Amino acid sequence: MADKRPIGVFDSGLGGLTVVKEIIKELPNEDIVYFGDTGRVPYGGRSVDTIKKYALQDEKFLLSHDVKLIVAACGTVSSVASDIGNALPVPYFEVVSHASMAAVNATKNGKIAVIGTNATVKSGQHKATILKENPSLSVINCACPLFVPLVEEGWYSENDTIVLETVRRYLKPIIDFGADTLILGCTHYPVLSKALLRVLGDNVTLINAGTTTAKAIKKYIYCHNLENQNGGEHRFFVSDKPDYFKEQASVLLEKDIDMCKVEKVDIGNL
């Protein structure tokens, strides 16, 4: 049995593309419908109620495209609205649990750091998941609110002095703590991986939530006979600035995104 319906992925903006990139690697024959809420990004500084309201609208939009599963490719939504997938008629994947488990398995010195938006760090979801699995581990959380605007602006080169200085300031407590494993708790952050490693050194393992979640999705799809053998079409919808999204998406996904595949939509009334 095959299921030709697309996989639905949403994020507050561009960051979820780091998850899409990993899904394409794992499942090149799947169709994907992506929604980036570029008109309302960032979510990370907003209240829990507002983040939940936006996430529900994002999900409704994806469901209107008859998706077979939904991926909240947003660390903030996954952390503060962990119950948001409960009422969905399709399977739901978030980006906290698989990344947390990967960190538990990766650490050698028992010290794990989590970076994310203010909302993600405040939720404590990663720490709770890690300590539930192994209470002897130590976890430090650091909010890095300037990372999302840097990425949305296209500033993420490891040779950019502003990027490096911002990374140095935010990661100082993590370096002092001596973590050997760093969870990128926001899906925008993998874009900054080279800058992060330049500051931390190559001995620190970065956990990309996109990689771990994409592997979990692949496993689920194969176990439940939901695979599409002949797809591979990717459609992108945004709530603002489709031209800018196309430009950045082509860089982040390392392939040219055809403009006709990026559409602006208004989901405010869903």
Which are the catalytic amino acids? 74, 186
Phi, psi of 190 (to 5 degrees): -55, -25
Measured between alpha carbons, how far is 32 from 210 in angstroms, rounded to an integer?
A: 15
List residues near ligand DGL by CB under 6 A.
11-12, 15, 41-44, 74-76, 117, 120, 148, 186-188
In whole angstroms, the minimum distance from the beta carbon of 2 to ligand DGL comes to 31
Region class of 254: left (phi > 0), else alpha (psi between -120 and 50), else beta: left
Instruction: State the DSSP H helix or E strand holding residue 4, giving kind and residue range, or none if neither.
Output: none
In whole angstroms, the minimum distance from the beta carbon of 170 to ligand DGL comes to 15
Q: What is the arrangement of strands in the sheet containing 111-116, beginning at the earlier edge strand?
A: 138-143, 111-116, 181-184, 205-208
Task: Indicate the residue among 32 and 226 with the shorter CB distance to ligand DGL.
Answer: 32
In whole angstroms, the minimum distance from the beta carbon of 51 to ligand DGL comes to 9
Phi, psi of 62 (to 5 degrees): -65, -40
Task: Indicate the residue among 12 and 248 with the shorter CB distance to ligand DGL.
Answer: 12
Instruction: State the DSSP H helix or E strand holding residue 45, giving kind and residue range, or none if neither.
Output: none
In whole angstroms, the minimum distance from the beta carbon of 151 to ligand DGL comes to 9
In whole angstroms, the minimum distance from the beta carbon of 256 to ligand DGL comes to 23
Please report where in the chains the tokens 């952390």 appear, as a residue: 79
Instruction: State the DSSP H helix or E strand holding residue 184, giving kind and residue range, or none if neither.
Output: strand 181-184
Task: Indicate the residue among 75 and 231 with the shorter CB distance to ligand DGL.
Answer: 75
In whole angstroms, the minimum distance from the beta carbon of 90 to ligand DGL comes to 21
Q: In 3-state terms, what secondary structure has residue 174?
A: helix
Annotate 98-129 with DSSP letters as a single string.
HHHHHHHHH-SSSEEEEEE-HHHHHHTHHHHH
Task: Indicate the residue among 19 and 257 with the shorter CB distance to ligand DGL.
Answer: 19
The amino acid occupying position 222 is Y
Q: Which two tokens stand for residue 84?
A: 């948001």
Q: Which two tokens stand for residue 83?
A: 């119950």
Task: Indicate the residue among 120 and 166 with the shorter CB distance to ligand DGL.
Answer: 120
Task: Indicate the residue among 102 and 186 with the shorter CB distance to ligand DGL.
Answer: 186
Residues 6+ away with beta carbon under 8 Å from 90 = 8, 63, 67, 68, 69, 70
Residues in the chain: 270
CB-closest chain residue to ligand DGL: 44
